[in-house]
Every structure is written in structure tokens, then in C-alpha cells.
Amino acid sequence: MRLATFLGRDGLWPSHETIAKAADVSVRTVIRALERAYALGILTSTKRTVMRGARRVRTSNAYTLVVTKAEQMKAKAGHLKRAVFRTSFLSVKMAEKVNPLFSFRPQWAAQSPERTPQEMLEAVQAWSREALSTT
């Protein structure tokens, strides 16, 4: 509920440190609470960035409190989708770090043909003749 006190005319976007200081908790506790709110579908966040010279620099998150049930379900589904993707992606990366010889990424290599094109055509024709004769 402390997050709602930061709501102003231009939105809701305090830093994790600001929320932690206002709630008198650690930054990690704030992050866990925000993750729980995302999972429940009562809060969504958008990354905010500003241009500094030619670079885009991330500042803070813009938060949106979700009030209707339909919006909550939509936010909950979006968070779940991101969480599942992030978990599966990180699991693959960790497995590859532990054992560099083990990789989920396909290793594509051109296979040498076992039959000539003519032999392949003859095999297909034989299969089709066999299929027609059994029906």
C-alpha cells in the first residue's frame, strides 16, 4: 500500500530504494513484494528510459495499479508468460555454463545424401505402387 502514496499527476514511478525507505524495509523485500504483486495481477510495470546523449539509459519503472478483475487476469497472464520464458531461458543458459559440451541449441550440419535423386524417385514410386496394390 505504500506504493500508492507515490501516485502523482504524471504517474507512479518511485525507485526500489525510495519504496524501501518509505516502508522501512530492505530493497530486496520491496523487489519480492513487487514480484508477488505482479504474480497476483494487481500491479504492472513498464521500464522507463531517457536519452542521455546518443545513449538510452534506464531510469525507474512506471507502475500501474490494476483495479478491475479483467485487467488483473490479463496482467497475471502476462507476468506468468514472462516468468516461464525467463525461467526456461535461464535454465538452458545455466546448463550450458556447467557443461559446455551439453547444449540445447541445435547443431546443424549438412548431411551427405544417402541416395541419388533418381534412387529416391524410384523408392517413392515403389512405395506408392505398394500402397495402391494393398487398397
Would you give the DSSP letter of residue 106?
-
Helix, strand or coil for residue 99?
coil
pLDDT tops 60 at residue 84:
yes
> Residue 111: pLDDT above 80?
no
Domains delineated in the chain: 2-101 (1.10.10)
Band (pLDDT 50/70/90 cuts) for residue 114 is confident
Q: Side chain identity at 72, as an amino acid letter?
A: Q
Tell the residue number behind the cell numbers 529416391, with chain if given. 120
Report the predicted TM-score, pTM, of the whole model to 2 decimal places: 0.46
Cα(76)–Cα(41) distance, rounded to whole angstroms?
4
Whether 49 and 58 have beta carbons less than 8 Å apart is answered as yes
**What are the tens digits of pLDDT across the range 18-45?**
888 888 899 999 889 888 888 877 788 8
78 CB-near residues (< 8 Å, 6+ apart): 44
Confidence of residue 73 (pLDDT cuts 50, 70, 90): confident
pLDDT for the residue numbered 29: 93
Instruction: Give the pLDDT of residue 71.
Output: 75
pLDDT at 4 over 90: no
Contact between 47 and 61 (Cβ < 8 Å): yes
